[in-house]
Amino acid sequence: MVLPSLNSFGKNIDVQQALEGVDVRIKKQLADAGLNAAKSAGASYADVRIGRYLNQFVITRENRVQNVANTESYGVGIRVIADGCWGFAATNDVTKEGIAKVAKRAVAVAKANAKLGSAPVQLAPQKGYGEVSWKTPIEKSAFEVPIKEKVDLLLGANAAAISGGANFVNSMIFAVNEQKYFASTDGSYIDQDIHRLFPSFTVTKIDSASNSFQTRRSISSPVGMGYEYLTPMASETIAGITPRYKKRYDILEDMKFATKQAAEKITAKSVDPGKYDLVLDPSHLWLTIHESVGHPTELDRVLGYEANYAGTSFLTLDKWKSGKFNFGSKQVNVVGDKTQVGSLGAVGYDDEGVGTKKWDIIKEGTLVNYQAIRDQAHIIGLKESQGCCYAQSWQDVQFQRMPNVSLEPGKTPLSVDNMIKNVEKGIYIIGDGSFSIDQQRYNFQFGGQLFYEIKDGKIAGMLNDVAYQANTQEFWNSCTQVCDASDYRLGGSFNDGKGQPSQSSAVSHGSSTTRFNGVNVINTKRKIG
């Protein structure tokens, strides 16, 4: 589930500290100390993750900076199998002695859990890669850009909102750098340097006479990129009723449009409830894909491991085994992908040392696969993991997390304008809004940022108070058209929550603009007092 707020992020540090790495030779020696101690204590398998997790926030409102913070979290987590059972322990004492001690504790935990008599862990085979490395392909690290440049960018955008008539504006830049070193008894020593960036804002327009207010959030995406995402580029902008962005984002331009649109929302027509054909922009559809395709195809949910919190899944194993389960229409092709450049989920290797890949989950509407990790692969007849293992930090145990799950673009050339031309009664939705789905992922409801009425093939004006409700299987079977690859864009969540205690992960979802026919739309306007 996408969490409504951010987690805490470790201790504050200065910028210079964030740029200093830890020598890979030292990390190998430290990791070997952990692996050897675990084996000596009786582990049949062990992995060591030495992690340095850096975050930077620049947060502003109107004409002032609210907060600038650099945080660091550095430590080591060790996971072992002993007596057929998993054990995990972690420490921020990153010395050979500290790591050896925590390795023994992890083995002790595994042996204690083994006495409760659960089935022995079956790990899919994984070859050792030796000493390898991987880095997010970035042009400019956000951590190397001076704070002043970020502050100036945000305050400049805020000024455009206020001078354009907005009453309030909040904006922020959030940068993440995970410096992760993984070593396992399989013979892998993997050094990775992972970067993510999320610029965002919210503009608010107040109408005190009617005691109403409207907001318009940025339609930027969180990305697996460096600061280059914030350098506007005409070729990466799609013109239209509002600009939409591919691999580069123009915060100033989006802010100007948002300011006008927040005001327009105050007087926009309240939607008449009923059935509409929906034309969903990728800045909106990513969240529907996340909740209704991404989560129900997580194998741990299917098996029941999330039953007490996030829930289970309607996509039970019997449906997959039949090979005929009709998830959606023939237009629906969904892939799992941990390799996509610029995405939040892209890494070279997952957090249990598996090289990443791309695979089919829904093929021409039929459920063909799930998302799995090493100890689940055998359950669905796989000979190797799909590389979906992740932990939010060194002190949390890694478990199955969603890869990028994306809708493939249509193969027939189709533009957004041509899609809209054929819609008689519809709504065009841009940007993500309110979201909710049941614990087995059948019934969902989504809002958005911008809603435009489509009448007889033309945009007839802005609507407000729109949310659509549907059943997942019916909704994806109502998919009639997907625009071609020229419209393909990524959206995503910086803060997807799962597990107890809850862990956060970042994941992208790509699509082109897509049409769904005859979806139930409700009006969300209420009055209190």
Partner 1 sequence: MALYTKEQAQALLKKVLSYSKADECEVSLFGNEGGNIRYALNAVSTAGDVSTTGLAVTSVYGKKAGSASIDEFDDAALERVVRRSEELAQFAPQNPEYMPMLGQSEFKDSITFNANTAAMTPESRAEMVGKSLQVTKDANLLAAGFLENSSSFNAVMNSKGLFAYNKSSDVTFSVTTRDAGGTISGYAARGFTDVSKLDTASATRVATMKANASKGAKAIEPGKYTVILEPVAATYMLENMFRFDARSAEEGRSFLSKKGGGTRLGEQLMDPKVNIYSDPFNPDLPGSTWGGDGLPRERTSWIENGVVKNLSYSRYWADKKGVKPVPNPSNIIMDGGTQTLEELIKGTEKGILVSRLWYIRMVDPQSLLLTGLTRDGTFYIENGKIMFPVKNFRFNESPVIMLNNLEALGKQERSISVESYRSYLIPPMKIRDFTFSSLSDAV
Which two tokens mark 510? Answer: 């790509």
In whole angstroms, how large is the CA radius of gyration of the chain? 24
Footprint of partner 1 on residues 226-265 (CB under 8 A)? none
Q: How far apart are CA 129 and CA 118, in angstroms?
A: 31
Residue 510 near partner 1 by CB under 8 A: no
Residue 480 near partner 1 by CB under 8 A: no
Q: Is 83 left (phi over 0), alpha (psi -120 to 50) or beta?
A: left
Residue 525 near partner 1 by CB under 8 A: yes
Residue 324 near partner 1 by CB under 8 A: no
Measured from the CB atom, the residue of 32 and 62 that comes closer to partner 1 is 62
Distance in Å, CB of 262 to partner 1, minimum: 11
Binding-site string for partner 1 from residue 159 to residue 198, where x marks contact by CB under 8 A and - marks none: --------xx------------------------------
Distance in Å, CB of 223 to partner 1, minimum: 24
Residue 19 near partner 1 by CB under 8 A: no
427 contacts 466 by C-beta, under 8 angstroms = yes
SS3 label, residue 495: strand
Residue 311 near partner 1 by CB under 8 A: yes
Q: Which of 18, 391, 397, 416 binds partner 1 (CB under 8 A)?
A: 397
Residue 118 near partner 1 by CB under 8 A: yes
Q: How far apart are CA 163 and CA 351, in angstroms?
A: 47
Distance in Å, CB of 2 to partner 1, minimum: 9
CA 169, distance to chain mean position in Å, is 25
Residue 517 near partner 1 by CB under 8 A: no
Which span (30-38, 179-187, 337-345, 495-503) binds partner 1, by CB under 8 A? 495-503
Footprint of partner 1 on residues 34-53 (CB under 8 A)? none
92 contacts 207 by C-beta, under 8 angstroms = no
Measured from the CB atom, the residue of 342 and 447 that comes closer to partner 1 is 447
Q: How far apart are CA 121 and CA 44, in angstroms?
A: 11
Residue 325 near partner 1 by CB under 8 A: no
Q: Which amino acid is present at 304?
A: G
φ and ψ at residue 459, rounded to 5 degrees: -70, 125
Measured from the CB atom, the residue of 239 and 318 that comes closer to partner 1 is 318
Residue 20 near partner 1 by CB under 8 A: no
Residue 408 near partner 1 by CB under 8 A: no
Q: Which of 122, 163, 212, 322 binds partner 1 (CB under 8 A)?
A: 212
Measured from the CB atom, the residue of 118 and 412 that comes closer to partner 1 is 118
Q: How far apart are CA 527 and CA 504, in angstroms?
A: 35
Residue 326 near partner 1 by CB under 8 A: no
Measured from the CB atom, the residue of 194 and 470 that comes closer to partner 1 is 470
Measured from the CB atom, the residue of 368 and 522 that comes closer to partner 1 is 522
Footprint of partner 1 on residues 132-161 (CB under 8 A)? 147, 151
Residue 206 near partner 1 by CB under 8 A: yes
Q: How far apart are CA 214 and CA 37, in angstroms?
A: 59
3-state secondary structure 271-327: CCCEEEEEEECHHHHHHHHHHHHHHHHEHHHHHCCCCCCCCCCCCCHHHHHHCCCEC
Residue 527 near partner 1 by CB under 8 A: yes
Binding-site string for partner 1 from residue 55 to residue 94, where x marks contact by CB under 8 A and - marks none: ---------xxx-xx----------------x-xx--x--
Q: Which of 195, 265, 338, 441 binds partner 1 (CB under 8 A)?
A: 441
304 contacts 415 by C-beta, under 8 angstroms = no
Which span (25-33, 224-232, 393-401, 449-457) binds partner 1, by CB under 8 A? 393-401
295 contacts 310 by C-beta, under 8 angstroms = yes
φ and ψ at residue 217, rounded to 5 degrees: -85, 160
DSSP 97-159: HHHHHHHHHHHHHHHHHHTT-PPPP-PPP----EEEEEE---SS-GGGS-HHHHHHHHHHHHH
Distance in Å, CB of 82 to partner 1, minimum: 14
SS3 label, residue 18: helix
Residue 292 near partner 1 by CB under 8 A: no
DSSP state of 223: B
